[in-house]
């Protein structure tokens, strides 16, 4: 019974397919398809060539163990190199400066600072030069030693000073790593000394009272 039912249902279906399937001799008439009367002249609006397009800074961290590699690696850790960023604690720009540090450098307008990439680069070099002067004796005394499992280098000291301030770095070094510091995100001196060790920052001069005019040539 099931076999007979299958024949009754399947055979008519197959015959229907054969009847409607085109043969190899069958042709099609496409003459009624036309583009007459249809506009095919498309154009795309272009920006006004006289319109000023703002430049967006989005630097890529540079490799290498020179000063440029040092500052770009540190900037990437701080802000991913974003000149315009402000974090949840109010730290500004590519290198995440606090207001008190900017005041020490003679920079009082935070909005102007954010909008001026050159000023941010100058501020970083100013701060590094001042920190190097404050820590000059500690650099000479501790460079090459191992403290808290980290080999002390000049660049590591300067990076840690950027994070915690030179006073906190002095305490860390002179206590053999017993007196530490961590920022609001839990980043500590030891991690910065390790992460940014071994860069050549010899072109950063130790200057007690650095000024932008004196340091511009070093950028």
DSSP readout, 13-80? HHHHHHHHSPPTT-----TT---TT-----------TTSPPPP---PPPPPSSSHHHHHHHHHHHHHT
Contact between 70 and 199 (Cβ < 8 Å): yes
User: What confidence score (pLDDT) does residue 87 get?
Assistant: 95
Residue 43 tokens read as 């154009």
Partners of residue 97 on adjacent β-strands: 92
Contact between 165 and 119 (Cβ < 8 Å): no
User: What confidence score (pLDDT) does residue 51 get?
Assistant: 47
User: What confidence score (pLDDT) does residue 52 get?
Assistant: 52
User: What confidence score (pLDDT) does residue 38 get?
Assistant: 57
User: What confidence score (pLDDT) does residue 159 get?
Assistant: 98
Domains of the chain: 67-218 (1.10.530)
What single-letter DSSP state applies at residue 204? S
Q: Return d(Cα 96, Cα 119) in angstroms, integer.
A: 13
User: What confidence score (pLDDT) does residue 13 get?
Assistant: 52
User: What confidence score (pLDDT) does residue 50 get?
Assistant: 45
Contact between 164 and 183 (Cβ < 8 Å): yes
User: What confidence score (pLDDT) does residue 42 get?
Assistant: 47
* pLDDT values of the chain reduced to their tens digit, one per residue, 219 residues: 545 544 445 555 554 544 555 555 556 565 655 556 655 554 555 555 444 545 444 444 556 899 999 999 999 999 999 999 999 999 999 999 999 999 989 899 999 999 999 999 999 999 999 999 999 999 999 999 999 999 999 999 999 999 999 999 999 999 999 988 877 778 899 999 999 999 999 999 999 988 776 655 454
Q: Return d(Cα 191, Cα 163) in angstroms, integer.
A: 10
User: What confidence score (pLDDT) does residue 151 get?
Assistant: 97
User: What confidence score (pLDDT) does residue 55 get?
Assistant: 47
Q: Return d(Cα 179, Cα 189) in angstroms, integer.
A: 10
């Amino acid at each position: 019974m099931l076999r007979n039912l299958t024949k009754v249902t399947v055979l008519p279906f197959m015959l229907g397919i054969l009847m409607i399937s085109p043969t190899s001799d069958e042709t099609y008439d496409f003459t009624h398809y036309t583009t007459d009367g249809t506009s095919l002249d498309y154009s795309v609006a272009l920006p006004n060539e006289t319109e000023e397009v703002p430049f967006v800074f989005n630097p890529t961290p540079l490799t290498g163990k020179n000063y440029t590699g040092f500052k770009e690696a540190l900037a990437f850790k701080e802000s991913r190199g974003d000149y315009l960023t402000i974090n949840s604690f109010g730290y500004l720009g590519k290198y995440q400066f606090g207001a008190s540090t900017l005041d020490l450098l003679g920079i009082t307008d935070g909005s102007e600072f954010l909008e001026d990439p050159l000023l941010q680069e100058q501020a970083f070099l100013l701060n590094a030069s001042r920190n190097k002067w404050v820590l000059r004796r500690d650099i000479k005394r501790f460079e090459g030693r191992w403290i808290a499992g980290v080999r002390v280098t000049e660049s590591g000291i300067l990076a840690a000073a950027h994070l915690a301030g030179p006073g906190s770095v002095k305490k860390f070094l002179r206590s053999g790593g017993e007196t530490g510091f961590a920022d609001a995100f839990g980043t500590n001196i030891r991690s910065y000394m390790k992460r940014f060790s071994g860069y050549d920052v010899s072109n950063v001069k130790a200057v007690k009272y650095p000024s932008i005019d004196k340091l511009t040539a070093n950028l």
